[in-house]
Structure formats: structure tokens, C-alpha cells
């Protein structure tokens, strides 16, 4: 019993570190091989405080967490700033882990490689379990907040995230800091549970254990890593008799899971009744193995090795199947009840929240948010005295290729301006320059008289220019609704602490409204029935509409649409024309439209700018453009043919 308790407590401690790392690796895709170092920092800090200074456990743990977080900021800033690719980041963190180990081996207060023996046993199964529950709850809350969604968005598509105003560095640092904090907590508990720590404990194998837990459990999931780490701790323990072969099994388990379960156990999903059979299969196999191990241990000496292995295997298979099928039956039997249950729970919750809200809700803050949200669909007041956007002598070279060459044009308030030109003429580059994706070589871009040159993309977006992409860049694993919700992050103003605790009187109503607003935006582009679909499963045309809804969620005054009708059939593109016209009218938006479907362009653009080889070759109404010889030449190439087409005008 004491033995089972020890395994359980160990598992809980590692689960805490893994949950934290799930927030970092699971959502940013960056791979850390140095998280054991954060556990070491937390563990040593807490242990030194309780051991030498007789500080109680809780403040000691908190101090460990704080120090881990501080160190993570110091490590995270330089490495995340240069946008290292994930392999390089992994080796950088490995180096960090080694550096911390060497430091601990040589410091006076940590007593070097001998370590700290005789730490008071302040952690027990009970409080460890409580901390584990707390960790899971905090992580879950965080992920369901604006802060969490920002991090998820960055992991899915950093470019698209920047284009909805999410700054990469601070948010990635935040997720690293959170993972470091929980690793520190886990280290502190570990120190006070095993009562003896030395630098060698916090080696790369420990780092790889929690990283492997996240990846095998499933990226973009919290419950998946939970199950995976539990398995990694429990399964090898079952085979204690096998001594050194346990680690071979652990290694093989990693290879098997990664190779046979493409997304890990629960990639991009949380455990619920629909995928519970999978969980039961896992539990079944584990229980089967447990029984097999004990059968072998009990009877190997009576029956001989071979028969007892056979018996153990037979028992394992039988039990795996039984548990797995029982689980399948149970979860399908529970389904109808669960719907009722969750309905009544949410009703109960709503009542309790309402009571709280009446008492505590900060009305002023909510009002600010409400106004910010209302703006999303409000009519833009246009200032007709000046152009919305003025591009002056803009140039951009890529090596020897001149992509944009001394380009000047302006966009008038409230118009839909078409930007057309043959393939490779530099249209998308113009968008990339306006939105700040590429730095500008020379020239000016004035948006409402403010010069955008040199501003980071996120600042440009937040100043009122949103865009869509030629090759769709949605947050593929999020639902349709979440895609829009993420882009609404600027409307709510709750703090990080509030996000972690999800105060029912401030975060909940704000989140509620944000969701309603997101639905409103989906309704605008006729996607509300798909709100709960995973974005990447939508058909192509609808994905383009979703991109438009997401761009609108940022409350733009200028909207850049990059080939919204690409890949659509004539009927779909007509619908799209309708949609753009509707949005334009509803909000009084100013729009620049890049498009190859000439029927779309000629239908809704009031003016058209034509570029070729990065230079403007014509500007005017659709009628004028259609007859412009330079345009005809650029598209059709030959002087003679130009003569033939000219009479059409």
C-alpha cells in the first residue's frame, strides 16, 4: 500500500510539471530539454528555505515558483526573441539544463554534488494531490481565456497570430514562464517528498520524461499529457522485477506511441464521453499488464518461466479486452445522462454566477468592454477630407528582384479599391508591406496621416488595418467560433490573475459577451451554424469567409482582402461579391481587394489600380481600366491583340 502510494505521489508530482509544459510545448510546438532545470531551481529553493531557514512549505514553494519564473524570463527573452527553430531551441534549453546542473554542483549552499539530504518530509500524497488538482484547474482556466487563446493561436500559425495583433515574444515568454512556474512547484514538492535531492536527479532524462509526456499525450491537450505521464510512471513500475529493462520499455513505449498514434493519445482534444473508449482501452491495457506482472511474479517459481509468461500474457490480453469493452459500453450508456447532467450543472452555475455578479461585478469595466465589442459592428465614421491610406514612392527589393518599384496610390474613404495585375506583379508584396510583414526599402505608407513605416505588424493591425491571406491561414485546430473569439482579444481587459482563477463576476460575463459577439460576426458571414466545427474541416470557400470574419473582429477601418475568391466557382464568387458589398455597406469600411476573378473586381470595385513588375501601370474606374491599352498589353502581351480588343470599349 505504501508502495502504491509512492507511485501515485510520484505520478502526481510529474503530472504537475507536465501540465505546465503542455501549456508551453503543447501549444507553441517548441521543444524544451531543460525543464528539469526549472524543477531543480524550484526544488532547491524550496528545500533550502525549509531546511536552513525553517520556512513553512507553502511560502517556500511559492518562492521556488517565483525564482523559476524569473529564470525562465532571463532564458526566454534572448532565445525566443530570435525566433529559433525548434531544434535549436531544444539544444539551447539542453545547455541551460546543463549549466544549472554545473552551478548546483559547485555552489556552497546547495552542498555540491553530494546534494541536500534530510529535507523534512512536508509533502504527502494528500497535499500533492491537492496541488495537482489546483494545477489542472489553473491550466484549464488559463487556456479558456484570452491569454490562453493567444498562445494557442501562435502555436497554430505565428504569422496569422501577428496579423490579428498578437505579439509573439511576450506571449511565448508568458507560456514559458507558466511552464517554468509549474515545473518549479513540481520540483519543490519532489524535494519535500523524497527528502533528498542532488543535482544528478534533475538530468536530461527527467526533462525528456515530461516533454515526452506532452508529445505522446497529445499536443494541444491537457488531459492527454496527464494520461501519458501517468502511464510513463506507472507502467515501468509494474515491471520492477525487470530492473533495467524498465527503461528499455519506456523508450520503446515512446517510439510505439509516436509511431502508432500520429497525434499522440489525445492530440488537440480533451477527454470526454465521445473519446472515452480510447481512455478505457489505455486503462484496460495498463490493468492487464499489472495483472500479468503480478501473475508472473507469483507463479514463475511454481509453474516455470515459460508457462507463467504465457498465462500472464493471456490474462493481460483478456483483461485489456474486457476493460476496454466495458468502458465502451459504459461511456455510451452514460451519454444521455451526461447531456442532462451538464445542462442542469450549467443552469445551477448560471444561477450562482448571477448571484455573485449582482454583488461584485465591476460595472465600469464591463461597460468599457461592451463598448469595445459594440464597435466591432458599428458604422465607421469617415473623414472625407483626406485619403485613408496614402502610399508614396514605395519600393521593395528581394535580392536582385524588384518586387515593388516606386509605387504610389491612395485609397479614398469608404471605397473598394481593386488592386490587380498579372501573376507575380507584386500585389501580395504590397499587402505585406502595408501590414508590416516585410520591412520597407524606401517610401512611405500613411494611414490616416500616421506613417506606418518601421512599425511592427501587431501595431499596424491594432491601429486599424486587418487583412486576409492568399493561402488561407486559419488556426486550423481551433473551432470556427474560437478563431473569431481569439481575434476579439483586444476587447476584454481582464488581468492574467483573473484569467487563471476565472472570477465568475468579471471574467465570465466578459467571456460570455465575447462569445456572443463572435457569434454575431459569424452570423454576418453566414457561418453561425458551423460555430463548433474545427476550422480546418470547413470547405474551402467557407474558410475564406471565416478569415474575413476574423479580420472584422479586430475592428478595422481598412480591410485588405487578398484573393478572397481564389478557388471559388462562379456561383460562390458571386455570393462572395454579395458578402463583401454587405460588409462594406454595413460598416462603411474601406477595402483594398486583390483578385484575379475579373467579374468580382469589375462588379464591386469603384476604382482599380493595376500594377505590373511592381510599378503602377494604370488607375481608374473599371470601365477605364478595361480599355486601357497598357493594361491589355500587360495581360495579353501582344500589340496586335490589343488592337483587336480595343473596339470592345
Partner 1 sequence: MIFQTIITGLSIGSIYALMAVGYSLVFSVLNFSNFAHGAVITLGAYVAWAVMVNIFQLPFLPALLISMLGAGIIAFLVERIAYSSLRHRRAPSLYFMISAMGMAIALQNVLYATIGANLYALPPVFAQDSIQLGTAVISKMDLFAFGFSILAIALLTFILNFTRVGTAIRAASHDAEMVSVLGVNLDMLVAVLFLLAGALGGMAGVFMGVKYMVYPSMGWITNKAYIGAVIGGLGSLPGAIVGGILLGLVEALISVSTIGGVPLSTYRDVFSFGLLALLLIVRPTGLFGRHVEEKL
Of 57-65, 210-218, 447-455, 532-540, which segment contacts partner 1 by CB under 8 A?
210-218
Q: What is the size of the binding site for partner 1 (CB under 8 A)?
A: 51
Q: Does the footprint of partner 1 cover residue 575 (CB under 8 A)?
A: no
Q: Does the footprint of partner 1 cover residue 308 (CB under 8 A)?
A: no
How far apart (Å, rounded) are the C-alpha atoms in residues 196 and 120?
9
Sign of the four-CA dihedral 74, 211, 485, 367? negative
Q: Looking at beta carbons only, is 244 or 359 nearer to partner 1?
A: 244
Site for partner 1 in 104-163 (CB under 8 A): 106, 159
Of 96-104, 371-379, 453-461, 593-601, which segment contacts partner 1 by CB under 8 A?
96-104
How far apart (Å, rounded) are the C-alpha atoms in residues 110 and 5?
29
Site for partner 1 in 26-55 (CB under 8 A): 29, 31
CB of residue 350 vs partner 1: minimum separation in angstroms?
Answer: 40
C-alpha cell at 489: 482579444
Q: Looking at beta carbons only, is 96 or 193 nearer to partner 1?
A: 96
Q: At what angle do helices 204-217 and 223-238 cross, to 10 degrees?
A: 120
The binder of partner 1 chosen from 244, 359, 640, 648 (CB under 8 A): 244
The binder of partner 1 chosen from 251, 424, 570, 637 (CB under 8 A): 251
Q: Does the footprint of partner 1 cover residue 423 (CB under 8 A)?
A: no
Relative to beta strand 558-562, strand 590-594 is parallel
Q: Does the footprint of partner 1 cover residue 237 (CB under 8 A)?
A: no
Binding mask 612-641 for partner 1 (x = CB under 8 A): ------------------------------
CB of residue 319 vs partner 1: minimum separation in angstroms?
Answer: 26
Question: Residue 612: what are its φ and ψ, rounded to 5°?
Answer: -145, 135
The binder of partner 1 chosen from 96, 142, 447, 530 (CB under 8 A): 96
How far apart (Å, rounded) are the C-alpha atoms in residues 123 and 192?
5
Contacts of 81-88 with CB under 8 Å at 24 or more apart are: 81/169, 83/168, 86/29, 86/30, 86/31, 87/31
Q: Does the footprint of partner 1 cover residue 402 (CB under 8 A)?
A: no
Q: Does the footprint of partner 1 cover residue 317 (CB under 8 A)?
A: no
Q: Does the footprint of partner 1 cover residue 250 (CB under 8 A)?
A: yes
The binder of partner 1 chosen from 259, 301, 423, 569 (CB under 8 A): 259
Contact 438, 432 (CB under 8 A): yes
Residue 601: which of 581, 629, 615, 582 has the closest Cα?
Answer: 581
Q: Looking at beta carbons only, is 445 or 625 nearer to partner 1?
A: 445
Cα Rg, the chain, nearest whole Å = 30
Residue 616: which of 391, 389, 386 has the closest Cα?
Answer: 391
Q: Does the footprint of partner 1 cover residue 78 (CB under 8 A)?
A: yes
Q: Which DSSP symbol is given to 409?
A: E
Contact 611, 407 (CB under 8 A): yes
CB of residue 436 vs partner 1: minimum separation in angstroms?
Answer: 12
The binder of partner 1 chosen from 212, 292, 559, 611 (CB under 8 A): 212
The binder of partner 1 chosen from 50, 208, 486, 502 (CB under 8 A): 208
Sign of the four-CA dihedral 618, 619, 620, 626? positive
Q: Looking at beta carbons only, is 106 or 451 nearer to partner 1?
A: 106
Q: Does the footprint of partner 1 cover residue 555 (CB under 8 A)?
A: no
The binder of partner 1 chosen from 47, 122, 215, 521 (CB under 8 A): 215
SS3 of 353-394: the string is HHHHHHHHCCHHHHHHHHHHHHHCCCCCCCCCCCCCEEEEEE
Of 172-180, 257-265, 278-286, 633-641, which segment contacts partner 1 by CB under 8 A?
257-265
CB of residue 248 vs partner 1: minimum separation in angstroms?
Answer: 4
Q: Count H helices and E strands in the chain, helices first.
A: 26, 10
Q: Does the footprint of partner 1 cover residue 94 (CB under 8 A)?
A: yes
The binder of partner 1 chosen from 102, 130, 339, 347 (CB under 8 A): 102
Q: Looking at beta carbons only, is 413 or 564 nearer to partner 1?
A: 564
CB of residue 212 vs partner 1: minimum separation in angstroms?
Answer: 6
Strands of the sheet containing 558-562, edge to edge, are: 465-467, 558-562, 590-594, 416-420, 607-612, 615-620
The binder of partner 1 chosen from 68, 172, 211, 357 (CB under 8 A): 211
How far apart (Å, rounded) are the C-alpha atoms in residues 333 and 456?
54
Contact 215, 21 (CB under 8 A): no
CB of residue 215 vs partner 1: minimum separation in angstroms?
Answer: 5
Q: At what angle do helices 305-360 and 507-524 cross, to 10 degrees?
A: 90
Judged by DSSP in three states, 467 sits in strand
Let me know how long the chain is: 649
Q: Does the footprint of partner 1 cover residue 252 (CB under 8 A)?
A: yes
Q: Looking at beta carbons only, is 269 or 563 nearer to partner 1?
A: 563
Q: Looking at beta carbons only, is 94 or 279 nearer to partner 1?
A: 94
Q: Exposed e or buried b for every residue in 60-79, given b needs 16+ CB within 10 A?
A: bbbbbbebbbebbeebbeeb
The binder of partner 1 chosen from 1, 74, 243, 359 (CB under 8 A): 243
Contact 484, 550 (CB under 8 A): yes
Of 11-19, 126-134, 252-260, 372-380, which segment contacts partner 1 by CB under 8 A?
252-260
Q: Does the footprint of partner 1 cover residue 169 (CB under 8 A)?
A: no
CB of residue 259 vs partner 1: minimum separation in angstroms?
Answer: 5
Contact 74, 217 (CB under 8 A): no
Q: Does the footprint of partner 1 cover residue 374 (CB under 8 A)?
A: no
Residue 194: which of 115, 262, 266 has the closest Cα?
Answer: 115
Question: Residue 244: what are its φ and ψ, rounded to 5°?
Answer: -70, -20
Site for partner 1 in 451-480 (CB under 8 A): 469-471
Q: Looking at beta carbons only, is 155 or 504 nearer to partner 1?
A: 155
Of 94-102, 115-123, 408-416, 485-493, which segment contacts partner 1 by CB under 8 A?
94-102
Binding positions for partner 1, rule: CB under 8 A:
29, 31, 78-79, 82-88, 90-92, 94-96, 98-99, 102-103, 106, 159, 205, 208, 211-212, 215-216, 219, 243-245, 247-255, 258-259, 262, 428, 432, 437, 469-471
Amino acid at each position: 500500500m505504501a508502495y502504491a502510494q509512492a507511485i501515485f505521489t510520484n505520478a502526481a508530482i510529474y503530472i504537475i510539471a507536465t501540465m505546465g509544459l503542455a501549456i508551453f510545448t503543447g501549444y507553441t510546438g517548441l521543444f524544451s530539454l531543460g525543464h528539469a532545470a526549472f524543477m531543480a531551481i524550484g526544488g532547491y529553493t524550496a528545500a533550502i528555505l525549509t531546511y536552513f531557514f525553517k520556512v513553512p512549505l507553502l511560502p517556500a514553494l511559492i518562492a521556488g515558483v517565483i525564482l523559476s519564473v524569473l529564470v525562465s524570463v532571463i532564458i526566454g527573452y534572448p532565445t525566443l526573441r530570435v525566433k529559433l527553430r525548434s531544434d535549436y531551441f531544444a539544444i539551447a534549453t539542453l545547455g541551460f539544463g546543463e549549466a544549472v546542473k554545473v552551478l548546483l554542483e559547485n555552489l556552497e549552499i546547495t552542498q555540491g554534488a553530494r546534494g541536500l539530504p534530510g529535507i523534512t518530509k512536508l509533502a504527502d500524497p494528500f497535499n500533492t494531490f491537492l496541488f495537482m488538482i489546483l494545477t489542472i484547474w489553473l491550466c484549464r482556466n488559463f487556456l479558456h481565456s484570452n491569454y490562453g487563446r493567444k498562445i494557442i493561436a501562435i502555436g497554430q500559425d505565428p504569422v496569422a497570430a501577428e496579423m490579428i495583433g498578437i505579439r509573439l515574444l511576450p506571449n511565448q515568454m508568458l507560456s514559458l514562464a507558466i511552464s517554468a512556474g509549474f515545473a518549479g512547484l513540481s520540483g519543490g514538492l519532489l524535494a519535500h517528498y523524497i527528502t533528498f535531492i542532488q543535482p544528478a536527479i534533475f538530468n536530461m532524462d527527467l526533462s525528456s520524461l515530461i516533454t515526452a509526456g506532452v508529445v505522446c499525450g497529445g499536443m494541444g491537450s491537457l488531459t492527454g499529457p496527464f494520461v501519458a505521464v501517468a502511464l510513463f510512471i506507472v507502467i515501468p513500475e509494474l515491471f520492477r522485477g525487470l530492473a533495467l529493462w524498465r527503461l528499455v520499455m519506456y523508450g520503446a513505449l515512446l517510439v510505439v506511441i509516436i509511431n502508432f498514434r500520429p497525434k499522440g493519445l489525445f492530440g488537440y482534444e480533451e477527454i470526454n464521453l465521445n473519446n472515452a473508449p480510447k481512455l478505457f482501452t489505455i486503462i484496460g491495457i495498463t490493468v492487464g499488464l499489472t495483472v500479468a506482472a503480478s501473475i508472473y511474479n507469483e507463479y514463475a517459481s511454481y509453474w516455470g518461466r515459460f508457462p507463467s509468461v504465457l498465462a500472464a500474457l493471456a490474462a493481460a490480453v483478456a483483461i485489456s479486452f474486457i476493460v476496454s469493452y466495458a468502458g465502451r459500453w459504459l461511456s455510451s450508456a452514460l451519454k444521455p445522462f451526461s447531456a442532462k447532467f451538464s445542462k442542469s450543472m450549467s443552469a445551477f452555475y448560471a444561477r450562482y454566477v448571477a448571484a455573485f455578479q449582482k454583488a461584485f461585478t465591476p460595472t465600469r469595466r464591463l461597460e468599457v468592454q461592451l463598448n469595445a465589442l459594440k464597435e466591432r459592428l458599428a458604422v465607421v465614421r469617415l473623414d472625407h477630407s483626406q485619403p485613408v491610406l496614402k502610399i508614396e514612392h514605395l519600393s521593395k527589393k528581394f535580392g536582385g528582384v524588384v518586387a515593388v518599384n516606386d509605387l504610389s496610390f491612395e485609397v479614398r474613404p469608404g471605397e473598394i479599391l481593386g488592386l490587380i495585375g498579372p501573376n507575380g506583379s507584386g500585389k501580395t508584396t504590397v499587402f505585406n508591406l502595408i501590414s508590416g510583414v516585410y520591412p520597407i526599402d524606401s517610401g512611405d505608407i500613411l494611414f490616416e496621416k500616421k506613417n506606418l513605416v518601421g512599425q511592427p505588424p501587431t501595431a499596424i493591425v491594432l491601429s486599424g488595418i486587418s487583412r486576409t491571406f492568399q493561402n488561407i491561414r486559419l488556426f486550423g485546430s481551433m473551432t470556427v467560433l474560437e478563431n473569431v473569439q481569439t481575434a476579439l482579444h483586444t476587447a476584454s481587459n481582464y488581468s492574467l490573475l483573473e484569467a487563471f482563477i476565472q472570477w465568475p463576476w468579471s471574467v465570465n460575463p466578459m467571456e460570455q459577451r465575447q462569445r456572443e459577439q463572435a457569434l454575431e460576426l459569424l452570423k454576418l458571414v453566414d457561418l453561425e451554424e458551423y460555430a463548433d466545427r474545427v476550422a480546418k474541416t470547413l470547405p474551402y470557400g467557407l474558410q475564406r469567409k471565416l478569415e474575413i470574419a476574423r479580420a472584422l473582429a479586430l475592428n478595422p477601418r481598412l480591410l485588405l482582402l487578398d484573393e478572397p475568391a481564389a478557388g471559388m466557382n462562379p456561383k460562390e464568387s458571386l455570393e462572395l461579391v454579395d458578402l463583401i458589398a454587405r460588409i462594406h455597406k454595413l460598416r462603411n469600411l474601406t477595402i483594398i481587394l486583390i483578385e484575379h476573378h475579373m467579374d468580382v473586381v469589375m462588379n464591386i470595385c469603384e476604382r482599380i489600380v493595376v500594377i505590373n513588375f511592381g510599378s503602377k501601370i494604370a488607375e481608374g474606374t473599371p470601365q477605364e481600366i478595361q480599355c486601357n491599352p497598357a493594361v491589355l498589353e500587360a495581360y495579353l502581351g501582344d500589340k496586335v491583340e490589343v488592337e483587336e480588343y480595343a473596339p470592345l470599349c
